[in-house]
Amino acid sequence: MPPFRVFLAAAMVLAASLPVRAAVLREATGLVQVRSAGGDNWRPAGKTPRPLGEGDGIRTGFNAKARVELSGGTVLVAEGNAHVSIEVDSPGHTNVHALFGTVRLIADAPRGRAVSVRTPTCVVRARGERVLVRVTVAGGGNTTVEVEEGVAGVEDNRGASVILRRDQRIEVDLAGVHEPTAAPTPVQARKTDFMALMRRELGFELGRDADFAAAARETRRAEREQGRLLTDADGRRVRVEEYVVRPAGNRLALVVMNGRPDGLSYYSWDGTFDVALPVDLSGVFSTLRGGASASAWTVTDFTMTRADSVGALTEKGSGGHQVDLNGNADPLDDVAGGGTAFRTVFDRYGLYADGVLKRGFTGVNLQAYSDAAASTTNDPLTGALLGAALPVVVVNTTFPDAASARQVRRESYGDGTTLTRETLSLDFGGGVGPRAGFASPDRNAEDRTSFGGRTIRIVLPSDAIGATRQLP
């Protein structure tokens, strides 16, 4: 055989033995990780462009994005909290496996090429000259397909198929494809995306991914910045996200969301202050608990909500002003330790369970809550006449465990209903801390609110607990 042919044959054999690297990771924004085909470990994507081969996996963190160029001009964009892998990428066939999250496929001029996205419950195939399709995979493999441009075919695992055209969407689950509907408006899409993002980031699959612990160790800094995994009083992991929003110069809104495998719950506190707040909010948060001297910022109004997917418990206060509890005429509200103890006292307060007023009070420049007049026939915040007089309530607060940092406040109403709030200071390694650490500013806490036959459980980071002290 001539030398040239020998060289050519050897080159062909060598090329056939090498993995195909047609796909390229072009952009990686935020936390983007790659796992090589057949590998067990996820590694940071590193510098881009980065070549990818068949079988390689990609996953993105909260609010991250990855853009992959596939053969034939096809582009795949993986949004935050997505997990995809490249199954086939050749000039005549491109197939991507979307395991979780949202991906956007842009297929330019397929012209006979097979371009598809496979999910646990269906296969989405691009048809026509140019196709833009958005695929979202949620828990249980439930898939939503939206066609933004062109035509796409959707086939479920039972063999049923549907053709989708521009501005159409369809949902597919284990039962098969549903009826196509009109795609949502941009505003509706943003709302849906936000809720889906929160559910994926907070409530999803905490125990599903065996590689999560290793990935968390490798990206510990990013994990703390984007959220955290905390351990509740029962030793179970809870995904916790905390957000601070400043709707106005003198307003501060704090949102803490918890994700567990059985659902999503959240805590929110929106306070209005008497003066504009500084850029650095650390001092504001530290004074929410009160202190030996009056704070430079006084909360005049607040709305606090604890909620889950079923209902909510909301508390509202107005007319806030600072009072030295150790210097007023009520010895029962004194703060241990002596000296001055300034706290915010509100002239009007209401507690609402699923929107229904349970109790409240009113007053004028109150120096102690014992001087307030309990609400009976009118809403304490709006003054509106109630449909019926409020029942009498008896409040009992106890520490049932002498050694544990656990406080139980039980409200018993004359109509036979009860409301129980249990506060537990958590130990640094998980579980309930010792009694001496109750309400410590350095400890996380778990808040359990029980009413109407259900319990809303929320783990609060230590820097968010001060807002809960704005309670009468």
201, 218, 236 — which closes off a domain? 201
Q: What is the pTM of this model?
A: 0.54
Is residue 95 domain-resident?
A: yes
Q: Are residues 300 and 194 in the same domain?
A: no
Is residue 210 domain-resident?
A: no
Say if residue 221's pLDDT is above 50.
Answer: no
* Of the candidates 271, 331, 332, 239, the residue with the CA atom closest to the CA atom of residue 468: 271
CB atoms within 10 A of CB 71: 18
Apex CA 191: angle with CA 188 and CA 197, to 5°? Answer: 135
Q: Please tell me the total count of domains within the chain.
A: 2
- Report the pLDDT value the prediction gives residue 201, as an integer from 0 to 100: 44
User: What residues are paired with 95 via a beta bridge?
Assistant: 88, 116
Backbone angles phi, psi at 286, to 5 degrees: -65, -30
* Of the candidates 22, 155, 146, 135, the residue with the CA atom closest to the CA atom of residue 79: 135
Per-residue pLDDT band at 37 (split at 50, 70, 90): confident
* Of the candidates 172, 121, 166, the residue with the CA atom closest to the CA atom of residue 145: 172
Extract the tokens encoding 200: 């994926």
- Report the pLDDT value the prediction gives residue 16, as an integer from 0 to 100: 41
Q: Are residues 318 and 368 in the same domain?
A: yes
Average pLDDT value for residue range 455-459: 92
- Strand 93-108 versus strand 122-137 pairing type: antiparallel
Measured in whole angstroms, the distance separating CA 5 from the mean position of its chain's CA atoms is 62
CB atoms within 10 A of CB 69: 19
Which H or E element spans position 286? helix 282-287
Say if residue 440's pLDDT is above 90.
Answer: no
Q: Which amino acid is at 461?
A: P
CA gap 113, 88 in Å, rounded: 12
Maximum CA extent, the chain: 109
Return the sign of the alpha-carbon dihedral for residues 398, 401, 407, 410. Answer: negative
Backbone angles phi, psi at 214, to 5 degrees: -65, -40
Q: pLDDT per residue over 278-311, tens digit each?
A: 988 888 888 887 888 999 999 999 999 998 878 8
Percent of the chain residues past pLDDT 70, beyond the cut? 82
Say if residue 222's pLDDT is above 50.
Answer: no
- Report the pLDDT value the prediction gives residue 189, as an integer from 0 to 100: 55
- Strand 83-90 versus strand 75-78 pairing type: unpaired
Is residue 266 domain-resident?
A: yes
- Report the pLDDT value the prediction gives residue 204, as an integer from 0 to 100: 40
Is residue 14 domain-resident?
A: no
CA gap 253, 259 in Å, rounded: 20
Is residue 219 domain-resident?
A: no
C-alpha atoms less than 13 angstroms from C-alpha of 409 in its C-beta half-sphere:
10
Is residue 217 domain-resident?
A: no
* All residues at 6 or more sequence positions from 388 whose CB lies less than 8 Å from its CB, including other chains: none
CA gap 156, 242 in Å, rounded: 38
Per-residue pLDDT band at 383 (split at 50, 70, 90): very high
Average pLDDT value for residue range 338-360: 92
Q: Are residues 39 and 137 in the same domain?
A: yes
Q: Are residues 98 and 38 in the same domain?
A: yes
Is residue 10 domain-resident?
A: no
Q: Are residues 260 and 377 in the same domain?
A: yes
Q: Is the peptide bond before 391 cis (omega within 30 degrees of 0)?
A: no
Q: Are residues 306 and 189 in the same domain?
A: no
Per-residue pLDDT band at 210 (split at 50, 70, 90): very low
Is residue 439 domain-resident?
A: yes
Lowest mean pLDDT among 22-36, 82-96, 369-383, 433-447: 433-447
Say if residue 19's pLDDT is above 50.
Answer: no
Say if residue 215's pLDDT is above 60.
Answer: no
Q: Are residues 157 and 232 in the same domain?
A: no
Q: Are residues 260 and 343 in the same domain?
A: yes
- Between 26 and 279, the more confident residue is 26
Q: Are residues 24 and 99 in the same domain?
A: yes
CA gap 374, 382 in Å, rounded: 15
Measured in whole angstroms, the distance separating CA 238 from the mean position of its chain's CA atoms is 11
Measured in whole angstroms, the distance separating CA 97 from the mean position of its chain's CA atoms is 25
Place of tokens 């995809």: 84
- Report the pLDDT value the prediction gives residue 207, as an integer from 0 to 100: 35
- Between 63 and 456, the more confident residue is 456
Domain containing 63 — which CATH number? 2.60.120.1440
Backbone angles phi, psi at 314, to 5 degrees: -120, 135
Average pLDDT value for residue range 371-397: 93
CA gap 346, 249 in Å, rounded: 21
DSSP assignment letter at 109: -
Helices (H), 75-184: none
Q: Are residues 343 and 449 in the same domain?
A: yes
Q: Are residues 289 and 333 in the same domain?
A: yes
* Of the candidates 76, 77, 75, 70, the residue with the CA atom closest to the CA atom of residue 92: 70
201, 219, 249 — which closes off a domain? 201
User: What rounded mean pLDDT belongs to the chain?
Assistant: 81
Average pLDDT value for residue range 99-112: 80
**Cα Rg of the chain, angstroms:** 28
User: What residues are paired with 289 via a beta bridge?
Assistant: none
Say if residue 246's pLDDT is above 70.
Answer: yes
Average pLDDT value for residue range 225-234: 68
| 135-153 exposure pattern, b = at least 16 Cβ within 10 A, e = fewer | bbbbeebebbbbbbbbbbb
Average pLDDT value for residue range 106-128: 83
Long-range pairs, 115-120, Cβ under 8 A, ≥24: 115/72, 115/74, 118/87, 119/143, 119/172
- Strand 454-460 versus strand 321-324 pairing type: unpaired
Average pLDDT value for residue range 29-44: 85
Q: Are residues 61 and 101 in the same domain?
A: yes
Percent of the chain residues past pLDDT 90, beyond the cut? 36
CA gap 288, 309 in Å, rounded: 28
Q: pLDDT per residue over 134-191, tens digit each?
A: 999 887 788 999 999 999 999 998 888 899 998 898 999 888 888 888 766 555 555 5
- Report the pLDDT value the prediction gives residue 362, as an integer from 0 to 100: 96
- Report the pLDDT value the prediction gives residue 252, as an integer from 0 to 100: 86
- Between 300 and 425, the more confident residue is 300
Domain that holds residue 328: 227-466
Say if residue 214's pLDDT is above 90.
Answer: no
